[in-house]
Amino acid sequence: MDKLIIFGGIPLKGEVTISGAKNAALPIIASTILASGIHTLKNIPKLKDVETMLKLLKILGADAYIERGICNIDTTKITNFEAPYELVKTMRASILVLGPLIAKFGKAKVSLPGGCAIGARPVNLHLQGLKKMGAKIELEEGYIVAKAKQLKGTKIHLDIPTVTGTENLIMAATLAKGTTVIENAAKEPEVVDLANYLISMGAKIKGAGTSIIEIEGVSELNPSKEYEIIPDRIEAGTFIAVAGICGSEITIKKCKLEHLHAVVNKMKDAGVDFKETKEGLKVTGPKKLRSVDIKTMPYPGFPTDMQAQFMAMMTVAEGTSVIKETIFENRFMHVAELRRLGADITVEGNTATVRGVKKLKGAPVMATDLRASACLVIAGLVADGKTVIDRIYHLDRGYEDLDKKLIQLGAKIERVVD
Ligand code: EPZ
């Protein structure tokens, strides 16, 4: 298994360009199922999870490949409607093909995604919404088996503003008969990017980015050309955390500040300085970070996908920080690994209390999930001596060349391929 070896204590400086957003690319690639023909998507990031989603589309019969940074997807020959367990178990976001397959082909057989390290992650709200639209859904040997002659528009109230649940239901509703209203919808920028892509294909959607989204069904959608997906706000936030913890100055290019208000506010409270320049967002970390409390919330609140990275910063801040995780039930696996580096953290239920220490000391640690891996990289950049991070395949799922981008900024990092 690949490892990263990081030699800490080196101040960083320079520019970094943010890649396309993983959590926009995945639903947008799935949505190509809704329109038969050749789709061309720009700014698709080179990630393991994107590769997996493209592999899934090929299993369904599409042709998909990335050439000179453009992702080409030909959905003319989709003849298979089954997303197999062997693939779905490697990436839960495979569930995003369910809504499009039912809407376009009237049938789907998608393996129920298991839980993952950060939580049980049920998809009951996805299924409840599809049933309300008229889909017949059975669970057979671990598979969701769905049928629908024609989905019907209806009103759906989501108990929780689920991101992929909202995305699945928007996609299903684009080809339904009549109008669908989704209440308590997720407001993430990635939901808006998906809606914009669907609109570019001829969908009629209003209210994306608010908690009430209205979709008027149409008879067919047509592929869009050269749609550019948004930059990854979590990758941008991760580099802000890097600048913050290293006391360094980094200019972050292709980052949309309007997607990061909650993160930037907390970073400013911690002492990080921001300046918008013509090159990009200039971020400067302080000599010593101040401790700040955070509570993760659905967008536009503080994103759960930035909780681990922010915790890494707080391990060496002045004072004590209280971190509350309200989205997932088990998203503190990075705590035990941070403790191995000398962090002083106690956890009670969904609350972690982080007492800042003077220094972290390098040690062998293990990545447990995508954002936990980023957290350990951030901590390793300031820990004295050498930090070896094992199982970094987690990192490669969601960050495009993170180690290379950090080396460009002056970090001393080696990737050991086992
Ligand atoms: C999306 O996951 C993201 N993934 C996650 O990013 C992100 O952490 C999460 O949204 C929250 O922002 C993608 O977009 C591919 P949810 P998703 O449905 O849609 C519960 C990363 O690091 N829930 O919004 O799966 C669920 O258990 C990943 O890039 C139900 O109970 O998250 C959780 O507690 C990690 N029933 C809460 O809602 C459902 O049917 C939010 O989950 C659906 C969700």
d(CA 206, CA 214): 5
Band the pLDDT of 117: cuts 50, 70, 90.
confident
Q: Three-state DSSP class for 211?
A: coil
pTM exceeds 0.95: yes
Tell me which DSSP letter residue 353 carries. E
Which of these, 359, 356, 364, lies nearest to 336 by C-alpha position?
364
Instruction: State pLDDT tens for residues 125-163.
Output: 999 999 999 999 999 999 999 999 999 999 999 999 999
Q: 142 CA distance to ligand 1 centroid (A)? A: 20
Q: Is 255 a catalytic site residue?
A: no
Q: 164 CA distance to ligand 1 centroid (A)? A: 7
The tokens describing 121, both together, are 């992650």
The tokens describing 377, both together, are 């990289």
Catalytic pick from 116, 246, 255, 375? 116
Which is the closest atom of ligand 1 to the Cα of 119? 27
Tell me which DSSP letter residue 259 carries. G
Which is the closest atom of ligand 1 to the Cα of 234? 29
Residue 366's DSSP bridge partners are: 390
Residue with tokens 């928007």: 170
Instruction: State pLDDT tens for residues 197-250.
Output: 999 999 999 999 999 999 999 999 999 889 999 999 999 999 999 999 999 999
Instruction: Identify the pLDDT of residue 199.
Output: 98
Kindly list the protein residues whose Cβ atom lies closer than 6 A to any atom of ligand 1: 22-23, 26, 93, 119, 121-126, 160, 162-165, 304-305, 327-328, 370-371, 398
Which is the closest atom of ligand 1 to the Cα of 164? 19
Q: 92 CA distance to ligand 1 centroid (A)? A: 10
Instruction: Identify the pLDDT of residue 404.
Output: 97
Instruction: Identify the pLDDT of residue 388.
Output: 98
Q: 279 CA distance to ligand 1 centroid (A)? A: 33
- The mean predicted confidence, pLDDT, of the chain is 96
Q: Three-state DSSP class for 184?
A: coil
Closest residue CA from atom 24 of ligand 1: 162
* H or E segment to which residue 173 belongs: helix 163-173
Closest residue CA from atom 21 of ligand 1: 305
Band the pLDDT of 121: cuts 50, 70, 90.
confident
Q: Give the sheet arrangement for strand 320-324, strand by strand.
A: 294-295, 320-324, 351-355, 344-348
CB 40 within 8 A of CB 225: yes
